Structure 1
Amino acid sequence: MKAVVYETYGGPEVLTVAHVEKPIVGEDDVLVKVGASGINPVDTYFRAGIREVPSFPHIPHFDLAGTVVEAGKNVTNVSVGDRVWGTNISGTAAEYVACPQSKVFPLADHLTYEEGAALAMAFMTAHLSLFARGQLQKEDTVLIYGGAGAVGHAAIQLAKQTGAFVITTAGDETKAQLAKEAGADEVILYKQTNVTDAIESLKATVTLILDVSVSENLESNLDFIENGGRIVTVGSPKNNTPSLPWRKLNMKNVSLHGVLLFTAKPSELKEAGTAISTLFQQKKLTAHLAKAFSFTEATKAHEALEQKIYNGTIVLTP
C-alpha cells in the first residue's frame, strides 16, 4: 500500500511517498481504508526529532477518517462498511490503518472524510480539556486562547453547547470573525489590547481558562481568574519548563491541570469521542478544515502548517 514516510529526522523535505506492507488486523482491531489523515503541530515535533519515533521508516500522523473494510473476530462495536473517525492512532498517513476498535467513532453522514480527519484531535483535546479536566458548567465564564486555531475553535463550540459564556483571543480581525462564527461571545484582539485589561473592561468573572501557551500567560491568568478557578494547559510551545508562580496560585485557590491526548485514560477518550460524534450527528458542531493536500504534497502540507498559512486543520488524502 501507499504511505507517507520519513527515514530520518528533519524538515518537511524528509517526507516521501513509499510502498509499505498492508497492516495485519488483530482480533480486537479494525482495518480502516483511509479517506483522509489529519496533520497537527505535534506531528512536526516528531518529524523534526523534538520527540522521538520508535523506528524508521516512520509513517506520520495520528488522526484519520475512513471506512472500515475488515474487523477482527472480537470486534463488536464496529462493522465492515462503517464510516469512522479516530485519533491517537499511530501512522494514519497511509492507505490502510489497523487500530483497536475503541479508537474509532461513527462519522456523521453529512461529513466528508476531510472534515472527519480535521475534527479528530482538535475536538478530542478540547473536550478532554473542558470537561474531563476543567469540569465546565453552564454558569462558567471561560477564556479560550486562540479562538481561530483548531483546538480553540472546537472548544468555543463545545463550551457554547454547554451554555457557558465564552471569551476568546485572536490575532486579527479575520481570526476574530472565525471565532465569532464558532460562537464566541467576546473576542479580544490580543495584539491590540492587553488581555488582562480587556478582561477588566468586560467586568468578566473568569472561572475557567483553556491555555495553549501557558509559559507566556500563566502570570497574567492568575491575576484575573476568579478565586477557586481552573486553568487547563493544552500546550507550552515556547517554554516546556515554565516557572510556577506558586504564591499567586495558592492565594487564589486555583487548580492547574495538564491535558495530553496520548496519555489520557481510555474511559475519558471513549466518553469524549462518543459525545463528539453525537453532537456532530445532530449537526451542532462544525469541523474547522483548512485545506486538503494529497499524499504526494505532504512536504507542502507540513510547510503550510509550520508557517501558519491557514486557519484550521490541514489534512492529507491518499
Structure 2
Amino acid sequence: MKAVVYEAYGDPTVLTVSEVQKPAIQDNEVLIHVKASGINPVDTYFRKGIRQVESFPHIPHFDLAGEVVEVGNDVKNIQVGDRVWATNAKGASAEFVAVTSNLVFPLPKKLTFEDGAAIAMPYMTAYLSLFNRGQLKEGETVLIFGGAGAVGHAAIQLAKHAGAYVITTASNEDKAAIAKGAGADEVIVYTVEDLVKRVKDRTKEAGVSLILDMSFSENMERDLEMIKLGGRIITIGSPVNNTPPLMWRQLNMKHASLIGVLLFTAPLEELVSAGHFISKGFDSGVFTSHIGKVFSYEDAALAHESLEKKEYDGRIILDHTK
C-alpha cells in the first residue's frame, strides 16, 4: 500500500510517498481504507524531532476518516462498509490503517470524509478541555484563545452548546468573523484592544471561570490576571516554550487550578464518551467542521509547509482519493 513517510527528521521536504506493508489487524481492531487524513501542529513537532518517533521509516499523522474494510473477531459494534472517523490513529497518512475498534466513531452521512478528518483531534481536545478537565458548567464564562483556529473553533461550539458565555480572541477582523460564525458571544481583537482590560471590564473585575489556552508560555501572566478566584486554566499547548517558569505566587493568590490536557494520554473511557458525543452532535447538525485547505495526498510536504506558515485558518486536510 502507499503511505506518506519520512526516514529522517527535518523540514517538510523529508516527506515522500512510498510503498509500505499493509497492516494486519488484531482481534479488537478494524482496518480502515483511509479517504482523508488531518494534519495537526503536533505532527510537525514529530517530523522535526522535537518529539521522537519510534522508528524509521515513520508514517505520520493521527486523524483520519474512511471506510471499514475488515473487522477483527472480537469487534461487534462496527461492520465492513461503515463510514468512520478516528483520532489517536497512528500512521493515519497511509492507504490502510488498523485502529482499535472502541476508538473508531461513526461518520454521519451528511459529512464528507474531509469533514471527518477535520473534526477528530480538535473536537476531542476541545471536549476533554472543557468538560473532563475544565468541568465547565452551564452559565459560566469561558475565555477561549484563538477562536479562528481548529481547536478554538470547536471549543466555541461545544461551550455554547453547554450553555456557557463564550469570549474568544482573534488577531484580526477576518479571524474575528470566523469566531463569531462559530457562535462566540464576544471576540476580542487582541492586536488592537487590551485583552486583560476588556475581560475585566466585561466581568466587572471578577474574571472568567475557565480559560482554554493554546500558547501558555506567552499568555500565563495574562491568564492569571483574568482568571477569577477559584477558576481553572487549561493548558492545551505551549509551542513557544514547553518549559515556562511557573508564576506560583500569582496562581496561589487566585486560588486557581492549572490543568494539563493531552489527547494521547487521556483515559480510554473519556475518549470513547467524547467521540460518541461528537458524532451525535454532528449527526443532529449542532456542530460544524472547520477546514482551512484540502491538499492532494501527494502534496503532504506542501501541506506541512502551509501549516507551519499558518497560511490558512482551520484544518489542513490530505485527500487520499486524489
TM > 0.5: yes
Residues 130 and 155 in structure 1, CA contact (< 8 A), matched pair in contact too: yes
> What is the alpha-carbon distance in structure 2 between the residues aligned to residue 22 and residue 95 of structure 1?
8
Number of paired residues?
A: 318
Map 1:117-266 → 2, pairs under 5 A: 117-203=117-203, 205-266=207-268
Map 1:74-85 → 2, pairs under 5 A: 74-85=74-85
- How far off is 1:200 after superposition? 2.2
Aligned residue number for residue 28 of structure 2: 28
- How far off is 1:274 after superposition? 1.0
**Residue aligned with 1:236, SS:** coil
- How far off is 1:223 after superposition? 1.3
**Residue aligned with 1:7, SS:** coil
- How far off is 1:25 after superposition? 1.1
Aligned residue number for residue 64 of structure 2: 64
Residues 206 and 225 in structure 1, CA contact (< 8 A), matched pair in contact too: yes
- How far off is 1:284 after superposition? 0.2
Map 1:87-106 → 2, pairs under 5 A: 87-106=87-106
- How far off is 1:229 after superposition? 0.6
Unaligned runs of 5+ in 1: none
> What is the alpha-carbon distance in structure 1 between the residues aligned to residue 200 and residue 257 of structure 2?
21
Alignment-mate amino acid for residue 236 of structure 2: V
2:290 paired residue among 271, 288, 291: 288
> What is the alpha-carbon distance in structure 1 between the residues aligned to residue 160 and residue 311 of structure 2?
27
Residues 86-143 of structure 1 deviation map (CA, whole Å, 9 limit, x = unaligned) = 0011100011101110111011110000010011000000000000000011111000
Percent identical pairs in the alignment equals 60
**Residue aligned with 1:232, SS:** strand
- How far off is 1:251 after superposition? 1.7
Residues 232 and 258 in structure 1, CA contact (< 8 A), matched pair in contact too: yes
Q: Which moved more, 1:192-201 or 1:90-99?
A: 192-201
Aligned residue number for residue 38 of structure 1: 38
Residues 223-268 of structure 1 deviation map (CA, whole Å, 9 limit, x = unaligned) = 1211111110100111111111111111221011000000000011
Alignment-mate amino acid for residue 58 of structure 1: H
- How far off is 1:13 after superposition? 0.4
> What is the alpha-carbon distance in structure 1 between the residues aligned to residue 139 and residue 107 of structure 2?
31
Aligned residue number for residue 15 of structure 1: 15
**Residue aligned with 2:127, SS:** helix
- How far off is 1:201 after superposition? 2.8
Unaligned runs of 5+ in 2: none
Residues 176-231 of structure 1 deviation map (CA, whole Å, 9 limit, x = unaligned) = 00000000000000111121011123235410000011111111111121111111
> What is the alpha-carbon distance in structure 2 between the residues aligned to residue 190 and residue 41 of structure 1?
22
**Residue aligned with 2:126, SS:** helix
- How far off is 1:81 after superposition? 0.9
> What is the alpha-carbon distance in structure 1 between the residues aligned to residue 236 and residue 126 of structure 2?
9
TM-score (norm 2): 0.97
Alignment-mate amino acid for residue 157 of structure 1: Q
- How far off is 1:68 after superposition? 0.5
Alignment-mate amino acid for residue 145 of structure 1: F
- How far off is 1:317 after superposition? 1.8
- How far off is 1:281 after superposition? 0.7
> What is the alpha-carbon distance in structure 1 between the residues aligned to residue 15 and residue 226 of structure 2?
44
**Residue aligned with 2:111, SS:** coil
**Residue aligned with 1:99, SS:** strand
**Residue aligned with 2:298, SS:** helix
